Amino acid sequence: MTLCHLAPHELALTIAPETFGFSDTAELLQEPLPWIGQARAETAARFGLTMDQPDYNLFVLGEVGSGRSSLLQQLMREVAANKPVPPDLCYLHNFDAPERPRALRMPAGQGRMLRQLMAQMSKTLQKEIPQRLDGPDFKAESAHLEKTYKQEESGAYAELDAFAEARNFALYREDGHLIFTLLGAKGKALTESEARSLPKEQRAQVEQAEQELRAEIARYLDKVRPMERLKNEGLAALRRQTIKPLLEHELQAIRLELKKQIKDTLKLGRYLDRVMQDVLDNLDVFRAAEAEPGLDDEIRQEELASVLARYRVNLVVDNEGLRGAPVIIEDNPSYHSLFGSVEYQAEEDVLLTDFSRIRAGSLLKAHGGYLMLHVRDLLTDDLVWEKLRRFSRTGRLQIEEPMQMFAPMATVSLTPEALDIHVKIVLIGATEEYYLLQEADPEFARRFRVKVDFAESFLASAQTYAASAVFVSHTCQRLGLPHFTATAVARLLEDAHREVDDQARQSATFARMEALVMEAAAVCRARAGARVEADDVSAALQARRLRHDYPDQRLQETITDGERLISLQGEKAGQINGLTQIDLGDYRFGFPVRVTARTSAGEDGLVNVEREVALSGPIHDKGVLILHSYLSTLFAAQAPLALDATLVFEQEYHGIEGDSASCAELYALLSCLSGLPLKQGIAVTGAVNQHGEVLPVGGLNEKIEGFYRVCAQAGLSGEQGVLIPQRNRRHLMLSTEVTQAVAQGLFHVYTAEHVSEGIELLTGHASGLPGTTSGYAPDTVLGRAQVTLQAYRRACHLADHPRPGRRRGR
């Protein structure tokens, strides 16, 4: 194991633009846009979208900006284009139960045709029925019926009139009522007072005659009413007979227009039969106003409109013009927008509705196709989530108003016919949401058997570089931006490596690259350039950093002003500069922090001050415990440690998390035990395991650049640098400023595989590893530490077992 001093070319990946084979991205416009680095996700998505069995819905998980939504939409449309167009959906009036409208599925385009044909039929009926009922043939037949009735009724009336006359009563009609009056000797009607003045005997005769006449009138009415009923039935039959051919012709025309066979053919046939029956039952409302003098025309028009409204077609899903299956992207999955609704209208303190106010939601519109939803949108509404769970279990959708029972007014309810819906649901969510769903609701999760996992990064290759260049080309065309030169694309790709801190892997967050494309294009336009160059990309990155680096700047200023103590020159025992990273979400940066150690004889062992005051997280505490374990192992031959040691992150008040400082903490402890000072110009990051191996850490580039800026601000001496894990070499994507300083010998980057290499660099003395059974060489770091620990042990032993003749202090 040897310490490695990295050369400038090892500190960052440099991509050669001449290997791309194009001069600018305008040459790539004809290339198709592939799924860049997401082969696994693409395979899974294609499988899920083409799998026709139930419960094979898709759960797409990945980070925001990875292209999970846009790529799935693109693939959904591609697969949907090869699927059949699903049927239209109509809701029709239910003549048997108006509160339960009937659903009707029809081939795409025929729903609109049925709606138009029914509307045209209504107009025809409004025009033709009054005309036919006013035609000569109908008038002649109705007049004949009227005449026959009149003759029969007149004969019966004549008999009644004669009966009344024989009893000195005059009989006449008034407003449809029969009225009779008593006649005097001269045939003149008697007044009431004259009738009462008649002799008693004559009055008795008059009363007897009146009773007989009333009985005869009753017999007359019993005889005439059936005659009138027969007349009305005959007229009604005549009207039906006159209008039925018209209806048959209109409805047959509709059937012929809708000649394509459909699943609901029988349902449509029964509906049209009921329409005919309903029209024939309501012919009176079609008659002209003058046909019934005295009937209020406004009321008649309302009645007619009410009848005609029953023949309307509510086309809730119209797939005419659709090519393939529908693809619905629901960005606002409220209850109504997702499951449909029934609209209400307030009239006289009552909420009214009918079948024509049923509205389809995204699920109905996506029948036979695909529906994309975002999990986070669904989880904000418990009602939506529960309804979706029930639908996923049954595949059957009932349009309903869940809050109807809480309406402030009386409500006329409506229960549309429930429907079987066949739709492939694509849920977009984060990785933690996927596993949370698996644990919290396994029944619902079982309906999403296809997991489409978008990677955060992928191995870079010539193919991924070429595909990324095509992405840049398409982005420029879509947004109307100037195209990028090959060198500018290379700079974009280098930033994609920097985003994931890996020379071998490329970031899959193409939303970041798209934003950088737009920002670099803005820089190019500001200088009136025709093509975006690499310098434009670098300028855009610098401008982005300046928009976000105020917290970094303030921390740097505290070091420059002397508020935060950081030593960059000389050597000091028990003190070292560790490297930390702060991630603010939109910006990451690193800065150094002083780590100090103090030791003395005792039995408390290693004390992590941050842990004692609850300023450290569990991962940092774990790192310190591992450090203590390794320290104990180093000196296991000397029996248990008799040591009190404290570790402190100086001037750190906001908490520590992570184990990347455990190497620095170990070096500070060994320095304190050995008395050998550490070089203050070299900052350290890295985790240590129980075997002393240095493990890789995160945020490496930000940490190195943060320390470099502190050194540059104070003045580079040529002795400063950083010590990092050897296993982090591939993660280096340092800025040009740092690599140039390394090339000039003003800054250094060292790597170590084992802590022994680091302690040798920092102290200038051999570590002492591997030791012997008797211990370590006396002139090594561990040998000196061993001497100190032995002295601590003797001191503790004397404290517990004082020499004879000496009294222990109390």
* Three-state secondary structure of 34-53: CCCCCHHHHHHHHHHHHCCC
Residue ranges in 282-379 assigned as alpha helix (H): 297-309, 335-339, 362-365, 375-379
Using pLDDT thresholds of 50, 70 and 90, give the confidence band for residue 30: very high
Per-residue confidence (pLDDT) for residue 613, from 0 to 100: 64
pLDDT at 88 over 70: yes
Furthest-apart CA atoms within the chain: distance in Å:
169
Spatial separation of the C-alpha atoms in residues 582 and 686, rounded to whole Å: 16
Give the H/E segment covering residue 128.
Answer: helix 110-133
pLDDT digits (tens, 9 = 90+) for 548-573: 999 999 988 888 888 888 999 999 99
Tell me how far apart the alpha carbons of residues 692 and 320 are, in angstroms, rounded to a whole number. 71
CB 97 within 8 A of CB 118: no
**Could you identify the residue written with the tokens 């005609």?**
308
Alpha helices in 56-104 (DSSP H): 68-80
Whole-number pLDDT of residue 802: 67
Structure tokens at 27: 């040459």
Token pair belonging to 594: 């002083």
More confident residue, 757 or 151: 757
List of residues 6+ apart from 240 with CB closer than 8 A: 280, 283
How far apart, in whole angstroms, are the C-alpha atoms of residue 209 and residue 221?
18
pLDDT greater than 90 at residue 631: no
Distance in angstroms (rounded) separating the CA atoms of residues 74 and 30: 17
Residues of the chain with pLDDT > 90, as a percent, come to 55
Q: How far is Cα 462 from Cα 712, in angstroms, rounded to an integer? A: 37
88 three-class SS: strand
What phi, psi does 196 have (nearest 5°)? -75, -20
Q: Which of 165-179, 635-649, 794-808 has the highest mean pLDDT?
A: 635-649
Rounded to whole angstroms, how far apart are CA atoms 535 and 201? 134
Q: Which pLDDT score, from 0 to 100, does residue 627 have?
A: 82
* pTM of the shown model: 0.81
**C-alpha closest to that of 464 among 504, 502, 498:** 504
State the pLDDT at residue 653.
Answer: 63
At residue 348, does pLDDT exceed 80? Answer: no
Of 135-149, 466-480, 572-586, 694-708, the range with the lowest mean pLDDT is 135-149
C-alpha to C-alpha distances, 150 to 144, 145, 170, 179, nearest whole angstrom: 10, 8, 21, 19
SS3 609: helix
Burial of 80 from C-beta contacts in 10 A (0-12 / 13-18 / 19+): buried
Q: Please check the confidence at residue 542 and state whether its pLDDT lies above 70.
A: yes
| Position 609 confidence tier, pLDDT thresholds 50, 70, 90 | low
Q: How many residues does the chain have?
A: 810
pLDDT on residue 621: 76
Q: Count Cβ atoms below 10 Å from residue 399 Cβ, excluding itself.
A: 25
Which residue has 């008059």 as its token pair?
206
User: At 31, phi and psi to the nearest 5?
Assistant: -75, 135
Question: Strand, helix or coil at 197?
Answer: coil
Check residue 808 and give its pLDDT: 45
What is the residue whose two structure tokens read 């995160």?
A: 698
Q: Are 574 and 643 in contact (CB under 8 A)?
A: no
Cβ neighbours of residue 101 under 8 Å, at least 6 residues apart? 91, 92, 93, 94, 314, 354, 355, 358, 414, 416, 417
Q: Output the pLDDT for position 749.
A: 96
Residues 6+ apart with CB under 8 A from 588: 581, 582, 699, 702
3-class secondary structure, 498: helix
pLDDT per residue over 280-309, tens digit each? 888 888 876 444 555 567 778 888 888 999
The predicted structure's pLDDT at residue 155? 72
Structure tokens at 601: 């004889």
Amino acid occupying residue 82: N
What confidence tens digit (pLDDT) does each residue in 158-207 have? Answer: 777 777 767 767 777 776 677 777 676 666 666 666 666 677 777 777 67
Q: Is the dihedral of CA 712, 715, 716, 719 positive or negative?
A: negative
* Average confidence score pLDDT of the chain: 86
Residue 774: pLDDT above 70? yes
Tokens of 316: 């809730």
Residues 6+ apart with CB under 8 A from 202: none
Q: Report the percentage of the chain scoring pLDDT > 70.
A: 87
Please tell me the predicted confidence (pLDDT) of residue 11.
Answer: 95
Element (H, E) at 242: helix 200-257
> Is pLDDT above 80 for 232?
no
| The two structure tokens encoding residue 703 | 């940490």
Bigger pLDDT: 397 or 412? 397
